[in-house]
Amino acid sequence: MQRIIFGEDHDAFRASAKEYCDRSLVPRMEQFLEEKTIDRAAWLEAGKQGFLGLDVPEEYGGSSVGDYRFNAVFAEEVSKVSASLSSCFGIHFDCAAPYLVDLGTEEQKQRWLPRFCSGELIAAIGMTEPSGGSDLAALKTTAKKTDGGWVLNGSKTFITNGDMADLVITAARTDPAKGAKGITLFAVEAGMDGFARGRKLDKVGQTESGTSELFFEDVFVPDENVLGEVDRGFIHMMERLAQERVGAAVSNIAHAVQILDETIEYVKSRKAFGQSVGSFQYNKFLLAELVTKAEVTQAYVDNAIVAHDEDRLSAVDAAKAKWWSAHVQNEILDACVQLHGGYGYMNEYRVARAWRDARVTKIWAGSNEIMKELIGRDLGL
**Residue-wise pLDDT tens digits, 87-132:** 999 999 999 999 999 999 999 999 999 999 999 999 999 999 987 7
| Residue of 202, 194, 192, 199 lying closest to 213 (CA atoms) | 199
Residue type, 210: G
Domain ranges (residues) in the chain: 8-121, 125-230, 237-379
Q: Is the distance from CB of 335 to CB of 358 less than 8 angstroms?
A: no
Angle at 127 between CA 126 and CA 133, to 5 degrees: 135
Angle at 146 between CA 144 and CA 150, to 5 degrees: 50
Q: Hey, what CATH topology would domain 125-230 get? A: Butyryl-CoA Dehydrogenase, subunit A; domain 2 (2.40.110)
- Three-state DSSP at 223 gives helix
Q: Is the distance from CB of 85 to CB of 353 less than 8 angstroms?
A: no
Helical segments of the chain, H only: 8-20, 29-35, 40-48, 68-81, 83-89, 97-103, 106-118, 233-269, 281-309, 315-339, 350-358, 368-378
Burial class (CB within 10 angstroms; exposed 0-12, middle 13-18, buried 19+) of 284: middle
pLDDT averaged over every residue in the chain: 96
207-245 pLDDT tens trace:
999 899 999 999 999 999 999 999 999 999 999 999 999
As a 3-state breakdown, the chain gives helix, strand, coil percent values, each rounded to 5, of 60, 15, 25
Domain spanning 237-379, CATH class: mainly alpha
Specify whether the backbone of 201 is left (phi greater than 0), alpha (psi in -120 to 50) or beta: beta
244-298 pLDDT tens trace:
999 999 999 999 999 999 999 999 999 999 999 999 999 999 999 999 999 999 9
Q: Is the distance from CB of 203 to CB of 211 less than 8 angstroms?
A: yes
The winner for highest mean pLDDT among 1-5, 332-336, 346-350 is: 332-336
Helices (H) and strands (E) in the chain, counts: 12, 10
Per-residue pLDDT band for 134 (boundaries 50, 70, 90) equals low
Distance of CA 153 to the CA centre of its chain: 26
Residue 133 has pLDDT above 70, yes or no: no
pLDDT above 70 covers a percentage of the chain that reads: 99
Number of Cβ within a 10 Å radius of residue 29 = 17
Whole-number pLDDT of residue 11? 98
When pLDDT is averaged across residues 342-362 and rounded to a whole number, the result is: 96
Q: Is the distance from CB of 293 to CB of 287 less than 8 angstroms?
A: no
Whole-number pLDDT of residue 135? 72
Dihedral Cα 226, 365, 81, 355, nearest 10 deg: 150
Q: Catalytic amino acids?
A: 244
Please indicate whether the domains covering 125-230 and 237-379 agree at the CATH topology level: no
When pLDDT is averaged across residues 4-30 and rounded to a whole number, the result is: 97
| Residue of 363, 91, 121, 77 lying closest to 247 (CA atoms) | 91
172-202 pLDDT tens trace:
999 999 989 999 999 999 999 999 999 889 9
d(CA 224, CA 106): 11
Q: What is the CATH number of domain 8-121?
A: 1.10.540.10
